[in-house]
Amino acid sequence: MSSPERKPLIAGNWKMNGLGASAPEFVRVVGAYMGPLRNSVDLMVFPPATLLTSFATSTRGAGVLVGAQDCHAEPFGPYTGDISAEMIADAGGKAVIVGHSERRACHGETDAQARAKAEAALHAGLIAVICIGETEAERKAGQALEIVRSQLEGSLPDAATPKTVVVAYEPVWAIGTGLTPTIDEVAEIHGFIRGELARRFGDEKAAAFRILYGGSVKPGNAAELLHVADVDGALVGGASLKADDFLAIANAAAG
Question: Which residues are designated catalytic?
Answer: 100, 170
237 binds ligand G3H (CB under 6 A): yes
217 binds ligand G3H (CB under 6 A): yes
Pick from 236, 253, 108: nearest CA to 174:
236
CA gap 220, 224 in Å, rounded:
9
Is 84 within any annotated ligand binding site?
no
Is 178 within any annotated ligand binding site?
no
Phi-psi region of 176 (alpha: psi -120 to 50; beta: other; left: phi over 0): left
Shortest-Cβ-distance residue relative to ligand G3H: 237
Instruction: Mark 6-25 with x for binding to ligand G3H (rule: CB under 6 A) and - for no binding.
Output: -------x------------
Pairing of strands 127-132, 9-13: unpaired
170 binds ligand G3H (CB under 6 A): yes
CA gap 168, 40 in Å, rounded:
20
Is 15 within any annotated ligand binding site?
yes
Instruction: Mark 120-159 with x for binding to ligand G3H (rule: CB under 6 A) and - for no binding.
Output: ----------------------------------------
Contact 62, 26 (CB under 8 A): no
Is 237 within any annotated ligand binding site?
yes
**Could you say which residues in the range 56-95 bind ligand G3H, by CB under 6 A?**
none
Number of residues near ligand G3H (by CB under 6 A): 14
Dihedrals φ, ψ of 80, to 5°? -55, 125
Phi-psi region of 180 (alpha: psi -120 to 50; beta: other; left: phi over 0): beta
Binding residue numbers for substrate? 13-15, 176, 216, 237-238
Which residues of the shown chain bind ligand G3H in the complex (CB under 6 A)? 13, 100, 170, 175-176, 214-217, 235-239
